[in-house]
């Protein structure tokens, strides 16, 4: 596999797999919140950063979902544009990496878990009802012209994302 292929994000994205990854994030976030094991913050952050950089390629959760869980479910794939999903993963990366740095590097106790609580809520919305908050923010950024159309030509109907 070439370096270019390794560091690419799928486009389109199978919405079924995206929702299953979100369900895995919910489970990991809830376990992190319940146990307050700081090292789990780093696990969450790594997963998001890996998915932003490579899609499921370097993400253990992404690999489990795309190679094992989704194929066994036998559901028809439903495709969505990749750029909004990548943006949503980047938001998760920002929140979880900030939480990890605050807890592991700076010794904060409450704020990191509040950030992971937000991640858990957003991931739950994606997993349970298919509402990708990051995708909606991406759509708003496109509609206002902050993100140019060239970022996602498939997203020209931004409110349908």
Q: Confirm whether 37 is domain-assigned.
A: yes
Whether pLDDT at 119 is above 70: yes
Mean pLDDT of 117-123: 98
Kind and range of the H or E run holding 58: none
CB 116 within 8 A of CB 33: yes
Structural domain contains residue 1: no
CA gap 105, 144 in Å, rounded = 37
Counting the structural domains of the chain, the total is 1
Dump pLDDT digits (tens) for 13-60.
999 999 999 999 999 999 999 999 999 999 999 999 999 999 999 999
Q: Which domain holds residue 78?
A: 10-130
In a domain, 138, yes or no: no
* Integer Cα distance of 129 and 50 in angstroms: 24
Residue 45 to residue 91: CA distance in whole angstroms = 11
The reply to whether 153 falls in a domain is no
pLDDT digits (tens, 9 = 90+) for 65-96: 999 999 999 999 999 999 999 999 999 999 99
């Amino acid at each position: 596999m070439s370096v270019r292929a390794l560091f690419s994000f799928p486009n389109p994205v199978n919405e079924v797999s995206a929702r299953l990854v979100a369900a895995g994030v919910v489970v990991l976030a809830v376990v992190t919140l319940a146990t307050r094991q700081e090292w789990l913050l780093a696990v969450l952050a790594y997963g998001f950063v890996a998915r932003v950089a490579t899609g499921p390629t370097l993400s253990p959760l992404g690999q489990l979902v795309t190679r094992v869980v989704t194929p066994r479910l036998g559901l028809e794939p439903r495709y969505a544009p990749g750029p909004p999903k990548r943006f949503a993963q980047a938001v998760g990366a920002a929140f979880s990496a900030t939480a990890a740095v605050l807890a592991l590097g700076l010794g904060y106790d409450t704020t990191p878990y509040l950030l992971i609580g937000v991640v858990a809520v957003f991931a739950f919305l994606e997993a349970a009802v298919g509402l990708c908050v990051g995708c909606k923010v991406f759509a708003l950024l496109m509609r206002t012209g902050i993100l140019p159309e060239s970022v996602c030509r498939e997203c020209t109907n931004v409110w349908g994302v």
